[in-house]
Structure 1
Amino acid sequence: MGVKVEPPESRGVSVELLATVDLAGEIDGMEGLQLRMRMVTIEPGGVFGPLHGHAGRPGTVYILQGTITDHRDGVATEYGPGVGWPEDRNTLHWLENRGSVPAVEVSVDIVRGD
């Protein structure tokens, strides 16, 4: 069992929208939803917070560079580079970069369209 750390506010994070696909017409019942791909960069010492969930917004993460620490359920797990983690309706977490180089991830998720 890990030590519980209170999630700080976001800092040192940039997010670039890479692509979206409107799922209406692609898959029955998916009206109003989009498949979204983003590149997220977390600078050394940066935090992607605060604590947030993924109910209604499932996704997956792939780490391109550096290491990202995922905090959930009182446990800190380091990922990268390579396959990261799934984000499902039970995911409640926050992220940080404890390393000395920028950590870069590609995140793909399903979200409500505008």
Structure 2
Amino acid sequence: MSPPQDTKGVDGKVVSTVDLAPDLPGHQLRLRRLTFEPGAVAGVHSHKDRPAFAYILEGTLTEMREGGFQKQHNPGDVITESRDVTHWAENKSSGKVVIVGIDVFKP
């Protein structure tokens, strides 16, 4: 089975951003709150140019990575999304999943 390409059922809200210049010109540190409705999918994506952390606030999120890795993340868990990570995630439960995402990105 190939990974899903499209994201659906995920609502992301930017809570805050910080410009990282002059140390990292053209980059920002971003804090987001993401809500995955039941059945929601975050399509396959790479963190090559966007390292991040995701903290699970509510619900259980299933993460899959290239190579067959699969893990369920529960409240209090942290997902480390370093430059070598290509992954996707699904809410396979009947309740919503809420995460806090922190990443460094180029706007």
**Other-structure match for 1:103:** 97
CA distance in 2 between counterparts of 1:76 and 1:96 reads 11
Alignment counterpart, residue 10 of structure 1, candidates 7, 11, 31: 7
Larger Rg: 1
**Other-structure match for 1:56:** 49
Helix, strand or coil for the counterpart of 2:50?
coil
**Other-structure match for 2:84:** 90
What TM-score comes out, normalization by structure 2 length? 0.92
Helix, strand or coil for the counterpart of 2:93?
coil
Write the deviation string for residues 51-79 of structure 1: whole angstroms up to 9, x where unpaired.
11001210101000001000002122000
Q: How does 1:12-91 map to 2 (within 5 A)?
A: 12-25=9-22, 28=23, 30-49=24-43, 51-72=44-65, 73-91=67-85
Q: What is the percentage of aligned positions where both structures have the same residue?
A: 43
Shift of 1:83: 2.3
CA distance in 2 between counterparts of 1:6 and 1:40 reads 24
Helix, strand or coil for the counterpart of 1:82?
coil
CA RMSD of aligned residues (A): 1.1
Helix, strand or coil for the counterpart of 2:77?
strand
Where structure 2 has 5 or more consecutive residues not aligned to the other structure, the ranges are: none
CA distance in 2 between counterparts of 1:34 and 1:20 reads 6
CA distance in 2 between counterparts of 1:46 and 1:69 reads 11
What amino acid does structure 1 have at the position aligned with 2:2?
E
What TM-score comes out, normalization by structure 1 length? 0.87
Where structure 1 has 5 or more consecutive residues not aligned to the other structure, the ranges are: none
